[in-house]
Chain A
């Protein structure tokens, strides 16, 4: 048979390609491999590794400290819950202990999916909300720093940020002595600048909660939208689904992350860090169920606006004096430059001159 020989060698070659590819795939996700194996163990592995006694040992997990350690060594890049170095020292190690405290310290009724179906809202203890008075915000960014510090938010990502926005336009200066010199001539500003503090809006109809395939993200009945980090599979769907880009992947934890309204503080009767640190008292936090609260009185006394209400998410962060154009920032075409555009956008490239040096308008975006 003519073909027999060549057929076999072809098959062997294909098989080799397949096996090489499989090895390559697994190699690229070696830490994933270790983690998958670890999935059979309880979430308490790190605590055990640190030599601590764990509350409720589960099945095989109780005897598997050595196995967990071996697996951890197998997947050295896994910087997340199961990395003992991070977890234990930072106090992140025992979800069994702190998760209930964070999730529901007051024993409020909480559900995963009944966020739009409050049975009797009047009976709920709280409905947390924030009012941000843009007339007072001076754009000092201290809330951003306070949040980073309070919540140990890693470098490069933000739970709250203050967008600095210029609206208006830059006019071509025919005399040629405008302050900004570009290739096409000089330009004069005819703009107004303001600051827009942003954070998770703790929406009453949060798409992020609805899309989470494991319901790691949930809405507490007092209004907070929170993440049960050890449950998160890191699919990123909630990040895509949030119209406010309030979510991100925590690069240390490798889970979705976002503002919690400082749940650990407010459950102890304190204010969120950004509110405490606001030098202008532009940020006001409180309980909408209490008609005498400052947020309730502000809402009663002022015309307020919320971001992107056309998305139907019912945000619980209200703004006083928000520029109408900014309500839906993505389509606010007359914004000259939002400083908080992020380092991986063409805006940033333009600011740093990278685009001017390369292509006219961020042409390299999207394509490697």
Chain B
């Protein structure tokens, strides 16, 4: 059926892979942000080391997220209209611009505060790397314990507001679908909740992988406590997800309980139809049941490969959930009975696999840039209440902080040598 731009026929699934990816990425944003707040807000000390990394991940994805919708829109040049038109609060989609801009602003402040002391310490040296970090600290020079304590207080407040925004950011996307009464498979008040819960699942799974890869990357062993803690949270949200899926099935897949069109869509598309594999097999089987089952086996649960399989499976399952919602919802015809609106995903060009990979690559690039600039390894050290009590095996005070400065700094000055106490 050609590229997504070449639709023909009365009914078309106009929203393609980019719109599948948008809620996926924004779910990762929300989920990883909540992971960072485990330490900032809920004072779960074992996640302290993870928090700076989670902030960086969340910000990189937050910047990349709107690229998907911008790429999907037919008139991206008109995007400024989002800022100038009087549309609030009527359109669920329009709340995007408000929530996203607020969220970006908050994340930038959070980034600044979370790394202020570390940046100031690095700024004490000289050379361009130090000058750069003096700039990133906006001239802040105080690296005392008092200053760090103050920053923690600010972070607490910011993260509290951030959790609300993360939920709003992802909840509104669920509402975009939930509010569309024309699509029988979308129009359920469960939608925002389903989206938020699966966002938590994907964000936690992603942070597990990021933690694993990033610590391995800087030559350190990933922290077992962090990993098993994240896995337990993952299981909690998977169970919640399972519960919501069961609710969804009960209210949509039982003809006696469901609206006619919702039942029709559920049974002809998701349960016995083109989406059966991606719904039962991938979304529920691989995404929910498999990690839950693996987790029950202690050997698997404690092993690194086991954890990697569980988290990857959860991520794949969440992507499949977005796939089934966005493409599955559009496959049900609005005006013709007994009809499946067929769709296909082009490999290249508009709304294609290529553009989606491009968005992920942009997110990766942003993450690498941020992780290079912001020494996440030391940030935890600088922010922790009593540096001596932190697990020295994870991030020793003198350890390599960020992913390592790529362009080597001037000889004789390690870009991370400012990590010691002032």
B-contacting residues of A (Cβ < 8 Å)? Answer: 1-4, 7-8, 10-12, 14-15, 17-26, 28-29, 32, 35-39, 80-82, 112-113, 156-158, 161, 163, 198, 207, 210-216, 230-237, 239-245, 248-249, 251, 254-255, 311-312, 328-335, 338, 340-349, 362-368
Contacts and interface: CB of A to CB of B under 8 A. Distances in A.
Contacts of B368: 11, 14-15, 18
Contact of A237 (B176, B339, B359): B176
At the interface, is chain B mostly helix, strand, loop or mixed?
A: loop
A239 to B, nearest CB: 6
B208 to A, nearest CB: 19
B334 interface: yes
Interface in B338-354: 338-345, 348-350, 352, 354
Given A28-B352, A80-B75, 13 more contacts: A4-B404, A18-B364, A21-B362, A24-B358, A213-B94, A215-B91, A251-B7, A331-B264, A335-B336, A338-B337, A363-B274, A365-B331, A368-B343
A86 to B, nearest CB: 14
A214 B87 contact: yes
A19 B69 CA distance: 20
Contacts of B261: 328, 330-331
Contacts of B181: 207, 241, 243, 311-312
B38 to A, nearest CB: 27
B85 A231 contact: yes
The 7 closest A-B pairs by CB, nearest first: A21-B361, A234-B74, A25-B358, A18-B365, A342-B9, A35-B77, A366-B274
Contact of B365 (A15, A244, A344): A15
Contacts of B350: 28-29
A362 B333 contact: no
Contact of A28 (B86, B344, B349): B349
A26 B354 CA distance: 10
B14 interface: yes
A330 B335 CA distance: 5
Given A22-B365, A311-B181, A368 B333 contact: no
Nearest to B351: A28
Interface of B: 1, 5-12, 14-15, 67, 69-82, 85-87, 90-94, 96-97, 176, 179-184, 217-219, 260-261, 264, 269, 273-275, 277-278, 327-328, 330-345, 348-350, 352, 354-355, 357-362, 364-366, 368, 372, 403-404, 406
A112 B360 CA distance: 37
A125 to B, nearest CB: 25
Contacts of B352: 28
Contacts of A28: 71, 348-350, 352, 354-355, 358
Nearest to A18: B365
Given A35-B76, A234-B78, A331-B337, A241 B182 contact: yes
Contacts of A242: 182, 334
A207 B181 CA distance: 8
Contacts of B217: 7, 10
A179 to B, nearest CB: 21
Contact of B77 (A32, A239, A367): A32
A39 B80 contact: yes
Nearest to B334: A245
18 contacts: A14-B368, A23-B358, A28-B358, A32-B70, A112-B86, A214-B78, A233-B73, A240-B14, A244-B182, A329-B335, A329-B336, A330-B335, A330-B337, A344-B342, A345-B11, A345-B339, A349-B342, A365-B341
